[in-house]
Structure 1
Amino acid sequence: MAKLYAKAHHPEEWLEMISLVRDIGFLLVVSWFFWRTISEFRQQFMTRDTRSDSQVDQTTIDALCKLGYLLVVVITLITFLQTIGISISGLLAAGGIGGIAIGFAAKDILANFFGGLTIYLDRPFSVGDWIRSPDKDIEGTVEMISWRHTRIRRFNKNPIYIPNMLFTTIAVENPSRMSHRRIRETIGIRYADLDKMAGIVSAIRDMLQHHPEIDQSQTLIVNFVTFNKSSLDIMIYAFTRTRVWEEYHHVKQDVLLKVGEVISALGAEVAFPTQTLHLATLPEPQST
């Protein structure tokens, strides 16, 4: 009876419009629900991992959330077009030529998109990593990875914005993922201390082998390597246990100070550039 009453008192166009508005409203509510669910998932995951003191892979979380947002938008758009009576297959067929033209015009945008996708899949670096490239003047801390560009903060605090497609063509170093930090120094002593060289090399090697911050499982080299122009050079090659930049320099300072103590204790001195002039004959003194 209610249906007959509605038909008798309302035109069919109004009933169709009401049905269309209802369907679109339901679609928007469902889409908004999934959008909010993704946002809440991201926020809850980040909060939970921060409280548990575990490392949060922000790159992976951002990639999954952005992919979720993209799926919500695409599915909502397709469903909306179907709801208002537009055929998707016909639209795709009609827009084929236009799509090709747009594709050529937006090739850089697409290249950046796939470059960002490569970063998300291969994960050569993550947000918070220190990276640098030997091919380009790029070095700093990764602050953000979007689908179009990556923002890097230089050590002088200036931001640089790198198109993602660039990372598919250049080599990228990630010092944040190094296993150790290396100490590689050349120490020179005087030629006058050649007879003390063997004792100095042995004492420095013994000091490094008993240093608590030097990793003994890695390569450790202390050798007399070169008769240089004004010094006898000793090469020191070792790896620290720490990877932290500030701690590494404290360890390196301690090693160099101990090397200086070893050289002084054996009665030798660190060399500095000097020249010795040999004269075949001495000039006759002039009488006044």
Structure 2
Amino acid sequence: MDNGIERWRMLLASFQRLEWIDITIAIAIFLVFLVFRKLFTKYIFKFILTLTRKTPTEVFTNVLLSFEKPLRLFWIVLGTYLAMLYLPFNITTTEFVQHIYRTFIIMILGWGLYNYMSAQSAFFFRFARKVELDEDSMLVPFLSKILRFSVIALTIVVIAGEWGYSISGFVAGLGLGGLAFALAAQDTIGNFFGGIIIITEKPFSKGDWIKTPSVEGTVEDITFRSTQIRTFEDSIVTVPNSTLSNEPITNWSKMNKRQITFKVGVTYSTPQQKLERCVRKIEILLREHEDVNQDLIMVRFSDFNSSSLDIFVYFFTKTTAWTEWYRVKEDINFKIMSILEEEEVVIAFPSRSLYVEKDQQSVFEDLIEEEKMDVRQEEKSSK
């Protein structure tokens, strides 16, 4: 304590002996570094950047771009330090001032590393290319946020250590606080890890059409807590990631082709030859249609149904777009109708035939005759 007071007394005495020439030179040193900062930013930095871009690796270029703004602050800090170092009193040797300058250096390094961990940095672009991530993947922003948070936490810890604070107690407190937080926010943590599963496994991306037991629609946005899905009614449904990651997901956007299947029912009075010609012509229609995928086409007389003879039709369209798929389906339906009309084949509708035995038929005829007589008598009485 006495040494500290004595040191400040000596500094005060030195300050009283300070001459204007010393102050002028110190200010000139600071201005030189301030001017050099502008020259460095405008000319020297660009020249070094041009040289680094000619190197086989982009690491140096990316590092320079990340530290461009921190370096501007560095020249001001360095100029201030050297200007104060020139003054006759040794203020730069005091512990407090040294802590301040070391803190600035740590902050400058942390700032540069924080910029380097940006999701738009070339570091993550190379990483995405190596692991073959698509542009809509949320993995890169996630890793960027994790690494940036780590840089901030490490910078704070180093600065705290520089000022003599104990880190062990702080870390222990974080452990207990993290345990309490985990118990109080289990759903949030579940959604977070559900988001990680969705991002890493990539069952879908933004813009995909998906179907789950709870929702169906187009994926609007994916975050680490929930996924927003726009339904076909044009509403937004927000589904927690913990729910979505535990459900079976059908991604219709991953289809390479889209299925169409139905049955054409014709009447039982259709002759066999006409039915065979219809089956053959429908198959030829599908084989020659430019919008039909030719990998698998099935047209078969399949069933003797209760009221119809069924022709089974099964094929895929080349397009997977919903509106275009419906256009192709409509076009094929019209052409199948034309084939049936050409062959004079009638499409069946649900019906039932009633067969009455002969003795029962006479009973029905007597009843009908009685009803007719009653009607005649009523007509006579009315006259």
- Using a 3 Å threshold, how does the CA distance of structure 1 residues 29 and 97 change in structure 2: closer, same or farther? closer
**Greater relative contact order structure (CA < 8 Å, 6+ sep):** 1
1:250 Cα shift? Answer: 1.2
Letter in 2 for 1:184: T
**What is the aligned partner in structure 1 of residue 88 from structure 2?**
5
1:33 maps to amino acid? N
Which position in structure 1 is the counterpart of 2:349? Answer: 272
Amino acid of the structure 1 residue aligned with 2:108: F
Determine the C-alpha separation between the residues in 2 that align with 1:111 and 1:3. Answer: 59
SS where residue 204 of structure 2 aligns? Answer: coil
> 1:258 maps to what in 2?
335
1:252-283 superposed Cα distances (whole Å, 9 cap, x missing partner): 11111111111111111111223333333240
Could you tell me which residue of structure 2 aligns to residue 115 of structure 1? Answer: 194
Deviation at 1:10, TM superposition (A): 8.1
1:76-101: CA deviation from partner (whole Å, max 9, x where unpaired): 22222221224444432343333222
Would you say 1:204 and 2:295 are equivalent positions? Answer: no
Map 1:197-236 to 2 at 5 A. 197-218=275-296, 220-236=297-313
Q: Are 1:22 and 2:104 matched, yes or no? A: yes
TM-score normalised to structure 2 length: 0.63
Where do residues 186-205 of structure 1 align in structure 2 (5 Å cutoff)? 186-195=263-272, 196-205=274-283
From the superposition, tell whether residues 137 and 33 of structure 1 become closer, same or farther in structure 2 (CA, over 3 Å). closer
1:142 match: secondary structure: strand
Partner Cα distance (2:167, 2:225) in 1: 28
CA distance in 2: counterparts of 1:260 and 1:246, whole angstroms: 21
Stretches of structure 1 that go unaligned for 5 or more consecutive residues are 46-55
Q: Secondary structure at the match of 1:192?
A: coil
Partner of 1:131: 210
CA distance in 2, matches of 1:6, 1:155: 76
Identity of aligned residues (%): 31
From 232, 257, 260, the counterpart of 1:183? 260
Q: Distance in 1 between matches of 2:226 and 2:220?
A: 11
Aligned partners of 1:190 and 1:271 also within 8 Å: yes
TM-score (norm 1): 0.82
- Alpha-carbon RMSD across the aligned residues, in angstroms, is 2.9
Gaps of 5+ in 2: 1-83, 127-132, 377-383
Q: 1:147 to 1:88 in 2, by over 3 A?
A: farther
Whole-angstrom distance in 1 between the partners of 2:265 and 2:109: 77
* Greater helix content: 2
Q: Quick check: 2:191–2:240 contact (8 Å CA) kept in 1?
A: yes
| Corresponding residue pairs, total | 271
- Find the residue that maps to 2:178 and give its secondary structure: helix
Matches within 5 A, 1:32-181: 33-34=115-116, 37-39=118-120, 57-60=134-137, 62-85=138-161, 86-133=165-212, 136-181=213-258
Counterpart secondary structure, 1:82: helix
Aligned partner letter, 1:206: I
Structure 1 residue 38: Cα displacement = 3.5
Distance 1:83 1:216, change over 3 A: same
CA-CA distance at 1:186 after TM superposition:
0.9
| Deviation at residue 207 of structure 1 after TM alignment | 1.8
Does structure 2 conserve the Cα–Cα contact (< 8 Å) formed by 1:148 and 1:164? yes
Query: What is the Cα deviation at residue 22 of structure 1?
Result: 2.2
For structure 1, which segment, 13-22 or 92-101, has the greater mean C-alpha deviation from structure 2 after superposition?
Answer: 13-22
Letter in 2 for 1:166: T
In structure 1, the residue matched to 2:61 is: none
> Matched residues in 1 for 2:354 and 2:173: separation?
90
Per the TM alignment, residue 158 of structure 1 is displaced from its structure 2 partner at its CA by 0.8
**Residue 128 of structure 1, CA deviation:** 0.8
- 1:194/1:232 contact within 8 Å kept: no
Query: Displacement, 1:126?
Result: 0.6
Structure 1 pair 214/123, CA: closer, same or farther in 2 (3 Å)?
A: same
